[in-house]
Amino acid sequence: EPEVTQTPSHQVTQMGQEVILRCVPISNHLYFYWYRQILGQKVEFLVSFYNNEISEKSEIFDDQFSVERPDGSNFTLKIRSTKLEDSAMYFCATNFLGWNEQYFGPGTRLTVT
């Protein structure tokens, strides 16, 4: 069964450093999303992406964040200058039509020290 994959599974970085989180969506899916989950809290939407541009972003997704699909397969989330409060699990999700269920990847645990 096709699945969403994410790399790395765990990333430790120092405050102020840049990180790039990678996602490989299910191959025929057209809509891509990033969510984050701070430990013990609910899942929060960051950004959605369709047709090579951002469709929607939340108030969390400020100028420190960016997304792109550089090679037609990977979908990346970049955090330019990480802060302690960016420590969380980051999930990529995808769906085909944009209105049906979203399929979540296994997540990347980001730890900022």
Partner 1 sequence: ELKVEQNPLFLSMQEGKNYTIYCNYSTTSDRLYWYRQDPGKSLESLFVLLSNGAVKQEGRLMASLDTKARLSTLHITAAVHDLSATYFCAVDRETSGSRLTFGEGTQLTVNP
Residues near partner 1 (CB under 8 A): 31, 33, 35, 41-45, 48, 50, 55-56, 58, 91, 93, 97-107
Q: How far is the CB of 30 from partner 1 (least distance, A)?
A: 9
Give the residue with the Cβ less far from partner 1, 84 or 97.
97
Q: How far is the CB of 94 from partner 1 (least distance, A)?
A: 11
Phi, psi of 12, deg, nearest 5: -110, 130
Instruction: Let me know the angle formed at the C-alpha of 7 by 62 and 27, rounded to the nearest 5 degrees.
Output: 95
Give the residue with the Cβ less far from partner 1, 3 or 18.
3
Q: How far is the CB of 106 from partner 1 (least distance, A)?
A: 5
Summarize the chain as % helix, strand, coil (round to 5).
5, 50, 50
- 12: nearest Cα among 95, 86, 104, 110: 110
